[in-house]
Structure 1
């Protein structure tokens, strides 16, 4: 009887929806814009394969450092784009994949940053690159799909991200060599 009461109680409780991260929503919007442009582009090839890079700072073209609040933006958005572009039937290549699986006592992996384990000439037709430009209260994200051979831009999109989405738990960070406190 007690088990039945618990089960009935669980059935009438409101369901909790899965919370989607703001990065996931941004990646969805960006991928939608890019794919629409790629589909409209006369040079679109059905078998073109796309690789995705991490996003860099627009002024230096360098990756943000781990202590920089934009580090997680660069990482999470470039990773989120894999699923959103795959949903839209873009053929993706992950050039961080090794030729085989590495087995360790901690588990099995196939992705690496070790140049000796990677194919240094991946079969990429297009590359998605992104830059981040700091603004007063946020960051402007700009992404482009480049033809790897001609370096021509096949699609481009941008999106503004307010600072409160990526700087939620930070008291201060280093910005352009100066300490900046959150408001």
Structure 2
């Protein structure tokens, strides 16, 4: 792990502390989603909504292919997405697997940061609890599949324990504080976080 990545991880874990009331609310959300009862699972984060103004959407089939590349069919999948279509789409693409999401996730219409900023505090609190619950589920996954063009994806990566190669980014490579967009072989060669995934790509398993 590079010095910058190690420092980012250390700082994130020192700063990431939920108070007792929020932690209890998060546990309720995750228990309702049966996350903790799934055993080892793959965590998938899909960012849509207003992110499409910045970067092109990564197609869902690529998420499904990455999940298959890094896990066996018996492993459950937790999906965190800001739009319900992504949750439903991954259920279809990963038919035969246990695919879980928090309650209400399939009814989402895509995150809009400006609208959230203008929302009522009471309404936003519930959304924040849901978001925190999804972050906790993603950081606890055996393997994380997401995008480093997303701030949430980058946060999840630095909060996770264990081998950094168990995080897979489907677009940007990791660099502290900035996202560098690289693709193909150069992307795989330069990014140790994606080493396991890229090896499987070369072997035709993703």
Q: Output the TM-score relative to the length of structure 1.
A: 0.30
- Structure 1 or 2: larger strand share? 1
Higher relative contact order (CA 8 A, sep 6+): 2
